[in-house]
Amino acid sequence: MNMERNLHYVATKRRVREDKRFVTGQGKYVQDVNLPDTKHAAVLPSPYPRARILSIETAAAEALDGVQMVLTGAQLAEDCNPIRLGLKLPEINWYPLAVGMTCYVGEWVAIVVADNAYIAEDALDLIEVDYEPLQPIVDPEQAFDETELLVHPGHGSNVLYHGNFLWGDVDSDFAGADDNLSFRARWGRSSTVPIETFGALARWDEGTEILDIWASIQMPNFVELMASTLGYPLNCIRLHQDVDVGGSYGVKRGIKQSVLVGYLSRKLRVPVRFIEDRLANMAGSDAHGPDRIFDTEVAFNKDGVIKSIKIRALDDAGAYPGRAPFQLAKPISAIVGPYKINSVKYEAISVCTNKSGQVPVRGFGQAPTNYMIEMAVDNVARHLGLDRLEIRRRNLIQPDEFPYQIPPGSKYDSGNYPVVLQKGLDLAGYDELLARRDKARAEGRLAGIGIATVLEPGGGNNIFEYLMDPSAEITTFMEGCEVRVDAQGNITGIMGTTTSGQGHETMMATILGEELQIDPDEIRIVHSDSLNALPTRSPIASRMAIMLGSAAAGAAGKIKDRAMAIAAHNLDRPVAELEYSGGTISDRNDPGHKLTWAEVCFIAYRAYHKLPDGMEPGFQAQYVFQVPGGGQLPDENNRVQVYPCFSFQAHVPYVEIDPGTGRVSVLDYAIAHDCGTVINPDIVRGMVIGGLAHGIGAALYEKFAYDDEGQFLSATFADYLMPSVHEIPDVKDVEHCTPSPLTSHGQKGSGEGGYLGAPAAIASAVNDALHPLGLHISELPMRMHKIEALINDGNT
Amino acid sequence: MSEAMRKIEISLTINGRTQTLAVEPRLSLSDMLRDELRLNGTHIGCEHGVCGACSILLDGVPIRSCLMLAVQADGHQITTVEGMCNEDQTPGILQEAFQDAHGMQCGYCTPGMLISAQALLTANNDPSLEEIKDAIGGNLCRCTGYTQIIESIQLAASRMREAG
């Protein structure tokens, strides 16, 4: 990597190429894919959180004109395998439809296929299910202790995972510290909730014996899971990845939906499409995120230096765990945040309850963990009467300490945390903000400033799975890029995965253009289908700039090498004496002695006699980038590099609270952000601010609520509250660049954006506002009725 | 055929073109636009009138096409995002501004945002920040946090003022 070189396209404001199709209504989402003779599916949800299915009467529905088929779980289970779970839990059989028993409100009990979606929904009303309701398990702490009332009786308990990790000498650090404190923090059941629901379309082709699928997905193991569930070979499924995904931020998994349409298409020999309606999506799809109780103890000295931390995290995974338990393990990559904490004890527990299953959400467990870490730091500051900035300055890792290895083994690649924090404070106008807060308080209002300094691990890696399950020896998390140059010299970059708003096409074109010195607007970018794709792990884990970006740079390098070899052969000069400039290759000492890009391409495709001996004809390159720091198993103390790159953010919001209603208004917000080299400034800024808005939602409004009987209360957008433009303040943002030494251009991850810090920052601000009343809230979302009750009754 | 399924003939003007269709009385306007006319730019997000992704202009006023039946649109003028393009199908001023200020990410809420912003700017090409917020207050976006959407609308407004 050469950080000093002059960049032409990277880090320059340029249009995002995806935007044109979106503003003209030409985006191609799964709902826009039209195949002849397509039939439409609708699902029947369970009204009970836990019930035995005694019988399902489908005859009346099947008799309805236009209905092709009604499928129940019992029929489906005869022909397919349970969906493979992340952890090996052989007694938990997860099928796309309930089999014999429903485990949460909204679980799909049957699916109808009809000529159109209206008829399919009519038919749902004609299905009669005889349920025997049973007592549900709703509270996660009760679920943990429970021995009789089990979500999955065959499993023997409600505990999906219970692990203890110890990194460093926690006992002696606690014994040696001046003081310690403990607290409980509760992260509410919220999620990303894209505006597009999940959709899938499948077409079984008997002639080729290939199942084509178009789906609104963002998921690394999608095709593998479909194949294993349907019992097909992997190469029997062709996922079309050139569909635009209408938002995902982690949740668009869609495995059960896709298995259903795939199964039905083969059964009926017609294309089958299932587009979730919002009710099906909120209650029974891939919607819910982490729901976590932290019990934390911190040991620290009187000067505010934090020595050690003990964390117990109990997470409610809902009825079917999928990859949910791993959201407890990924945060191990940054379990001490940006702070020099000497030792860590971490107890991680995942339980199941009779709720909709938890799916991966933006940050994969990092946002709740950051919320807890920042609360720990704030609580220590308050306990010592120390300023919240001062305690951070005393504990932050310093710029000369990188790469910095934390107790669980990850090395943070680079950073300058004190400078970025200062940039955030300067941007916020911190002194004036303090004066504004104090003036508001003097006028009898509740006002507070939030501080959060948090990390965004980026790049992915699956090694956290091994920490939970040592049979999962997965030490790569690669991403491939292919570059093809055609006989005319046009360049096409090929990615092997979908995109869901992160602008991957722009990012990839920018890097290819930078490396090949060609205007990125002249480079075409396409998404291959899964049968044509190089290895990919999909756009999760804030990884595409790091991984696909570095793979693109690698592939471009191979293209350049090939062009240089062809030129060296034809110009009769050694490569070292040649210079590459915008595709033309010339003799450094005799610039007129050159080969143009068109000539190179002609030789590659047409003039085999002019190719160097042994070179294959044609002009293409593939590069598969291995995740930096991957390839290692944990040592005997469970120490390992989890993610490779660590971005940093400093958040400074200002809030006021109406003491009568408890309503929190976020009036100002400053964020300083360092993700290394920014490839496209507009894209990064959008994800930072968008993530931040999403974090404000998680902090103040959003909740998938259940009552004590397990009934679901948040099935619509009128109940699950998401911030509109009126709830989001005017955000001030500033970038800082500490390049990563591990990537092609110094870039780090930014897709998880402000979401990893905003909930912590808003909580910090609300607690600052409540502090003069001697009150504190440590539960999200901080909805107005909670705060009102706290202010007026002293309880939540 | 039941009464509910009997098709009713309607005539309406969509993006400047008058069309006559026979539709079931229960067909929603959004489904008619998408499934009968293949105007796929109109997106469906919630089907209960909260998210605003399905917004279109009905006689110049932004409405939620998921909350209206196709038959209710009989005799009316409709503009969808496709109709916001210039006659040669190139993007209009507002659509260009959304690209220049990157007022979107996944693009799913974008057509509805554009419709709401177009209605605002047609009436007022010098809107205040609060007027912009009020105009798009009924359109949810999960990607952007709205900042770049507001900036896109402000950019379009300034270009419209320059163009007179």
Tell whether B69 lies on the interface with A, counting CB pairs under 8 A: no
Q: Which residues in chain A (706-725) have CB-CB distances under 8 A to chain B?
A: 716-718, 722, 724-725
Please give the structure tokens belonging to residue B88: 């040669």
In chain B, CATH 3.10.20.30 sits at 3-84
CA A248 to chain B, closest CA, distance in angstroms equals 9
- For residues A628-635, average pLDDT: 96
- Confidence tier at A2 by pLDDT (50, 70, 90): very low
> Residue A106 carries which DSSP code?
T
Measured distance CA(A188)–CA(A704) in Å, rounded: 8
CATH number of A292-463+633-793: 3.30.365.10
CA A536 to chain B, closest CA, distance in angstroms equals 21
Task: List, in order, residues 6 or more apart from A535 with CB less than 8 Å away.
Answer: A478, A479, A480, A496, A624
CA A285 to chain B, closest CA, distance in angstroms equals 14
- Confidence tier at B124 by pLDDT (50, 70, 90): very high
Going from the C-alpha of A585 to that of each of A229, A361, A488, A562, A592, the distances in angstroms are 52, 47, 17, 11, 10
Which one of B43, B105, B113 makes the best mutation probe of the A interface by having the most chain A beta carbons within 10 Å? B105
- pLDDT, averaged across chain A: 97
Say which CATH topology domain A33-134+198-275 has. Answer: Aldehyde Oxidoreductase; domain 3 (3.90.1170)
Residues of B in contact with A192 (CB under 8 A): 142
Cα angle A425-A339-A251, degrees, rounded to a multiple of 5: 85
Using the beta-carbon criterion (under 8 Å), do B107 and A18 form an inter-chain contact? yes
Condensed to tens digits (0 to 9), the pLDDT of residues A464-476 reads 999 999 999 999 9
Please give the structure tokens belonging to residue B119: 């209605």
Please give the structure tokens belonging to residue A570: 């034809």
Q: Which residues in chain B (37-66) have CB-CB distances under 8 A to chain A?
A: 38-48, 50-51, 53
In chain A, CATH 3.30.365.10 sits at 19-26+478-625, 292-463+633-793
DSSP A518-553: S-GGG-EEEE--TTTPPP---S-TT-HHHHHHHHHH
Residue A3 predicted with pLDDT over 60: no
Task: Walk across the sheet containing B17-23 and list its strands.
Answer: B17-23, B8-14, B77-79, B55-58, B61-64
Task: List, in order, residues 6 or more apart from A780 with CB less than 8 Å away.
Answer: A186, A187, A188, A190, A371, A698, A699, A759, A763
Task: Walk across the sheet containing A479-485 and list its strands.
Answer: A524-527, A491-495, A479-485, A620-625
In chain A, CATH 3.90.1170.50 sits at 33-134+198-275
Using the beta-carbon criterion (under 8 Å), do A195 and B39 form an inter-chain contact? no
Using the beta-carbon criterion (under 8 Å), do B105 and A754 form an inter-chain contact? no
Using the beta-carbon criterion (under 8 Å), do A716 and B45 form an inter-chain contact? no
Measured distance CA(A190)–CA(A361) in Å, rounded: 9
Share of chain A above pLDDT 90, in %: 98
> Residue A400 carries which DSSP code?
G
Q: Pairing mode, if any, of strands B8-14 and B77-79?
A: parallel
Task: List, in order, residues 6 or more apart from A63 with CB less than 8 Å away.
Answer: none
Cα angle B111-B116-B118, degrees, rounded to a multiple of 5: 90
Tell whether B104 lies on the interface with A, counting CB pairs under 8 A: yes
CA A147 to chain B, closest CA, distance in angstroms equals 40
Measured distance CA(A758)–CA(A695) in Å, rounded: 5
DSSP A196-242: S--EEEEEEETTTTEEEEEE----TTHHHHHHHHHT--GGGEEEE--
Closest Cα to residue A728, out of A686, A665, A773? A665
Give the pLDDT of residue A794.
72
- For residues A235-262, average pLDDT: 97
Using the beta-carbon criterion (under 8 Å), do A725 and B109 form an inter-chain contact? no
What architecture (CATH level 2) is domain A19-26+478-625? 2-Layer Sandwich (3.30)
Cα nearest neighbour of A499 on chain B: B106
Say which CATH topology domain B93-163 has. Answer: DNA polymerase; domain 1 (1.10.150)
Using the beta-carbon criterion (under 8 Å), do A29 and B95 form an inter-chain contact? no
In chain B, CATH 1.10.150.120 sits at 93-163
Condensed to tens digits (0 to 9), the pLDDT of residues A478-505 reads 999 999 999 999 999 999 999 999 999 9
Per the rule left: phi > 0, alpha: psi between -120 and 50, beta: everything else, A169 is beta
Residues of A in contact with B48 (CB under 8 A): 278, 716-718
Gyration radius of chain B over CA positions: 16
Closest Cα to residue A451, out of A384, A386, A369, A392? A392
Using the beta-carbon criterion (under 8 Å), do A246 and B39 form an inter-chain contact? no
Using the beta-carbon criterion (under 8 Å), do A718 and B150 form an inter-chain contact? no
Residues of B in contact with A682 (CB under 8 A): 101-102, 148
Per the rule left: phi > 0, alpha: psi between -120 and 50, beta: everything else, A48 is beta
CA A195 to chain B, closest CA, distance in angstroms equals 5
Complex-level ipTM: 0.98
Residues of A in contact with B41 (CB under 8 A): 24-27
Tell whether A730 lies on the interface with B, counting CB pairs under 8 A: yes
Distance of CA A237 to the CA centre of its chain: 24
CATH homologous superfamily of domain B3-84?
Beta-grasp domain (3.10.20.30)
- For residues A427-454, average pLDDT: 98
Using the beta-carbon criterion (under 8 Å), do B85 and A16 form an inter-chain contact? no
Condensed to tens digits (0 to 9), the pLDDT of residues A517-547 reads 999 999 999 999 999 999 999 999 999 999 9
Distance of CA A187 to the CA centre of its chain: 17
- For residues A681-705, average pLDDT: 98
What pairs with residue B8 in β-bridges?
B23
CA A723 to chain B, closest CA, distance in angstroms equals 8
Nearest CB partner across the interface for B81, out of A16, A25, A717: A25
Residues of B in contact with A22 (CB under 8 A): 104, 106-107, 110
Residue A779 predicted with pLDDT over 50: yes
Condensed to tens digits (0 to 9), the pLDDT of residues A48-74 reads 999 999 999 999 999 999 999 999 999
Measured distance CA(A311)–CA(A296) in Å, rounded: 5
Tell whether B117 lies on the interface with A, counting CB pairs under 8 A: no
Burial of A615 (0-12, 13-18, 19+ CB in 10 A): middle
Q: How many other CB atoms are found less than 10 A from the CB of residue A575? A: 13
Q: How many other CB atoms are found less than 10 A from the CB of residue A161? A: 21
**Run of H or E including A507:** helix A504-516
- Torsion, CA A455, CA A461, CA A463, CA A468, rounded to 10: 70
Burial of B75 (0-12, 13-18, 19+ CB in 10 A): exposed
Say if residue A781 is preceded by a cis peptide, omega within 30 of 0. Answer: yes
Using the beta-carbon criterion (under 8 Å), do B145 and A731 form an inter-chain contact? yes
- For residues A400-406, average pLDDT: 98
Residues of A in contact with B34 (CB under 8 A): 31
Per the rule left: phi > 0, alpha: psi between -120 and 50, beta: everything else, A64 is beta
Closest Cα to residue B109, out of B16, B18, B30, B43? B43
CA A790 to chain B, closest CA, distance in angstroms equals 29
Residues of B in contact with A34 (CB under 8 A): 38
Which one of A20, A23, A122 makes the best mutation probe of the B interface by having the most chain B beta carbons within 10 Å? A23
Condensed to tens digits (0 to 9), the pLDDT of residues A710-749 reads 999 999 999 999 999 999 999 999 999 999 999 999 999 9
Gyration radius of chain A over CA positions: 27
Nearest CB partner across the interface for B51, out of A244, A693, A717: A717
Measured distance CA(A195)–CA(A252) in Å, rounded: 11
